[in-house]
Homo-oligomer: A and B are copies of this chain.
Amino acid sequence: MKIGELSRRTGVPARMLRYYEEQGLLRPDRAGNGYRDYPPSAVDRVRQVRGLLDSGLTTDIIRRVLPFLEKPTDLHVHPECVTPELVELVRAEADRIKARIDCLSRNHDAIRAYLDAVTERLRHTAS
C-alpha cells in the first residue's frame, strides 16, 4: 500500500509516516518509481507507534524496544545480538513504562471517582 492509503487508514499525516521511517520505526520497501510500499501490517505498527509516542516514549526508545514487541513466542531477534547490556536497557525501560502505568492508573482512578461524585451530586439535586 502507498503512503496516502496508510495515512488515511491510520489518521497519521504522511509527513509523520516519513518522519517515523527516518527515525527507523518503519521500513517500507520502494516500488520501481521510488514510491514507498507498505505491507498491510504497517497499519497496526503505525497505531502502536502512535500509542507509545502519545504515552511519552521517544522515537529513540521506541526504536529500541520495537524488536521486543512482536510475537513473544519464538525469538526473532538473533540471540547473539541480544547483549546483556541491551537486555538491561530494555528492562530499565520496561520499569519506566510500569511507572507510567502506575501513575496514570492512580490519576485515572482519582478522576473517575471525582466524576462519579459530581454526577451523583447532580442526580441528587435533580431529584
**Residues on A facing B (Cβ under 8 Å):** 48, 51-56, 65, 68-70, 72, 75, 79, 82, 87, 90-91, 93-94, 97-101, 103-105, 107-108, 110-115, 117-119, 121
Given A82-B118, A111-B94, A118-B82: A100 touches B51 (CB 8 Å cut-off):
yes
The answer to whether A72 touches B108, judged by C-beta atoms less than 8 angstroms apart, is no
Question: Which residues on the B side are within 8 Å of A94 (C-beta)?
Answer: 108, 111-112, 115
The answer to whether A99 touches B51, judged by C-beta atoms less than 8 angstroms apart, is yes
Question: Which residues on the B side are within 8 Å of A107 (C-beta)?
Answer: 48, 51-52, 65, 69, 97
Given A87-B118, A115-B90, A121-B79: A72 touches B103 (CB 8 Å cut-off):
no
The residue that A111 contacts in the complex, of B68, B79, B118, with Cβ under 8 A, is: B68
Question: Which residues on the B side are within 8 Å of A112 (C-beta)?
Answer: 94
The answer to whether A103 touches B68, judged by C-beta atoms less than 8 angstroms apart, is no
